[in-house]
Amino acid sequence: MATSAWQGTTAIVTGAGSGIGRALTLALARRGVQVVATDVNDAAVQQVAAEGGASVRGEVLDVRSADAVRAIVEATVDRQGRLDYLLNNAGMAVGGETDDIQQVAWERILDVNLRGVIHGVLAAYPQMLKQGFGHIVNTASLAGLVPGPLLTPYAMTKHAVVGLSTSLRIEAATRGVRVSALCPAAIETPLLDSKGAPDLPAPIWVPDMRRFLTRLAGPPHPVAAFAEEALDAIERNQAIIVVPGRARVAWRLARLFPGLVERLALSAVQAERADR
């Protein structure tokens, strides 16, 4: 595990209360990073801060608020004197047949998965330009690179995050700032067993996410291993970080043989509908 490049740096992680965000926060702390772990769930993020020790500070943050995101960035810079990494990780999933997903769910996932990332970029990017360095890492998904049937709202937002990241990366490259898109396949997190936000109207049918994603991309990858692989790739300044390795195969297949990937995805959808 590499540490020298990370020691003494400062990072903000959104959506750090569980799953990928929690694992990234703890992995960063092990590498000597001062981490501001943020999440809309105060109890969850304070637990992560306790696990991470003195180098992790827990803060409540709803990424849907541009003002709140900007305030976290400004407070971090005031306290630490710099911001080396922003990991825009907060996100949610909405699953089901597209015609059965209500407008309010589409609006919520846009607010969290896309506008939340935009808020982070607009808050952190000017600071990184001012200091002349920094790395923005936006969590997208393999579903931002290949089709995501039965997860259409989610795939829509993640494709947008990939587009934002790869475009900004080129703009930022000559100005000292790095930008990467983090694109995990199925990772072993509570999201796999979630039925969606409890305050949103549920579709008539939500697929079994664990079973469906396994059909699409193979069994879930351990979250701790994912975090270490992701940080290694961030250190190498990879533009698009796809984890695990078999997911990179799926990505290449989608680019070279889109018809084959469509047929495989359709087969997974039909199998899931049959098990409904």
Task: For 61-169, list the strands marked E by DSSP.
Answer: 85-88, 134-139
- Specify the residue for token string 């495989």: 264
Q: How far is CA 108 from CA 63, 93, 103, in A?
A: 11, 10, 9
Catalytic one among 154, 212, 226, 251? 154
What strands, in cross-sheet order, belong to the sheet with 56-60?
56-60, 34-39, 10-13, 85-88, 134-139, 177-184, 240-243
Burial 117-149 (b: 16+ CB within 10 A, else e): bbbbbebbbebbeeeeebbbbbbbbbbbbbbbb
Active site residue 125: no
Residues with a known catalytic role = 154
